[in-house]
């Protein structure tokens, strides 16, 4: 199916591990500093290798993962999950955030950028 390699570009690895839907989205996230490798900002062409710690901010989700293996192609979700191991702290934090969202959803969380007239009306309705 695919060969195991020693290093890969961080944007390609994020895409292959299915953290981002497209490679360009992964590249953009790395450019914006939403992905840290060993607590350092890196460029999209920076190599990632097994043992590296990554902190990935994607929307409201924050993952802290350790790279376990590198694949050169994007595979199924079950294969992608073998590429990394999430820390216990990260898992607990994401579960707590999911539980908090279940009971209270921030009204402005779904709005991207400046609110439209419709968004403004919905916000005003929630405040009444």
Give which of 15, 40, 16 is closest to 26, Cα–Cα.
Answer: 15
Residue 64 in tokens:
């802290």
**Structure confidence at residue 9 (pLDDT):** 93
**Structure confidence at residue 71 (pLDDT):** 86
**Structure confidence at residue 18 (pLDDT):** 94
Q: What is the pTM of this model?
A: 0.77
Partners of residue 33 on adjacent β-strands: none
**Structure confidence at residue 6 (pLDDT):** 87
- Name the DSSP letter for residue 50: T
Calculate ∠ Cα 94-99-100, nearest 5°.
Answer: 95
**Structure confidence at residue 102 (pLDDT):** 81
**Structure confidence at residue 119 (pLDDT):** 83
For position 37, which CATH number holds?
A: 3.10.290.10
Partners of residue 58 on adjacent β-strands: 61
Task: Give the domain extent around 17.
Answer: 4-127
**Structure confidence at residue 2 (pLDDT):** 53
Q: Which residue ranges in the chain fall short of pLDDT 50? A: 1
Provide the number of structural domains found in the chain.
1
**Structure confidence at residue 100 (pLDDT):** 83
Residue 55 and residue 64 in contact, taking contact as beta carbons nearer than 8 Å? yes
């Amino acid at each position: 199916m695919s060969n195991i390699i020693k290093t890969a570009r961080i944007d390609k690895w994020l895409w292959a591990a299915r953290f981002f839907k497209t490679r360009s989205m992964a590249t953009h996230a790395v450019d914006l500093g939403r992905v840290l490798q060993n607590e350092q900002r890196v460029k999209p062409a920076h190599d990632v290798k097994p043992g590296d710690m990554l902190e990935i901010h994607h929307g409201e989700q924050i993952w802290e993962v350790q790279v376990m293996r590198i694949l050169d192609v994007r595979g199924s979700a079950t294969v992608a999950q073998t590429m990394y191991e999430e820390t216990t702290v990260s898992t607990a934090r994401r579960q707590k955030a999911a539980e908090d969202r279940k009971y209270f959803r921030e009204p402005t969380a779904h709005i991207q950028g400046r609110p439209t007239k419709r968004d403004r009306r919905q916000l005003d309705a929630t405040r009444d």
